[in-house]
Structure 1
């Protein structure tokens, strides 16, 4: 099936079309199944490692258990959002389009070349 998957105006797949007509690879499900068979034994071992003499090992094991029980802790993200002055950018673009060699800086027009 070499049909191109089509989308509606919102970007969603149209009914009857899919980007992956054969579905997920079967090998992935087989590997997951095999891994899940060993999960109880692996979890038991991690629980044993919490009591390890090596504090780094005990901490890593405790973190793994807590992450699976409660999820990983959320991380704060610090960001600075800067909003450009669209009016000044528009004025600069119009001046350039009309052949003026002017640059708008902090609300003032400065003659000279503009570096992009």
Structure 2
């Protein structure tokens, strides 16, 4: 069985850290992420039109999901309120799936 090397305290404190002036991401953000965002944004109008179509549909789940998506994109998501006065100081978080 191989013996694990002993790590000195000075080495352990440096583990996972970069030298002063050294970046953890010297190449910067990958260009492909920017290109994907730009490509997706080219379809914004189409996506909004489709969401509007589904928001007006008679299918309740699709209508609610599309309406929520349009409101979130147009006005931003509603702020979350945390009130610790109810339930004896406990915070209750409700997550609703909009489908």
TM-score, normalised with respect to structure 2? 0.59
Please tell me whether residue 51 in structure 1 is matched to residue 56 in structure 2. yes
What is the deviation of 1:20?
1.6
Matches within 5 A, 1:31-110: 31-79=36-84, 80=89
Work out the number of aligned pairs and report it.
69
TM-score, with normalisation over the residues of structure 1?
0.51
Shift of the alpha carbon at 1:78?
4.1
CA contact (8 A) 1:5 1:17 kept: yes
The higher radius of gyration belongs to 1
More strand by percentage: 1
Give the unaligned 5+ runs of structure 1.
Answer: 7-15, 82-116
Between the aligned partners of 1:50 and 1:20, the Cα distance in structure 2 is 43
Contact 1:5 1:19 in 2 (8 A): no
- Displacement of 1:77 after TM fit? 2.2
Q: Which runs of 5+ in 2 are unaligned?
A: 1-17, 91-99
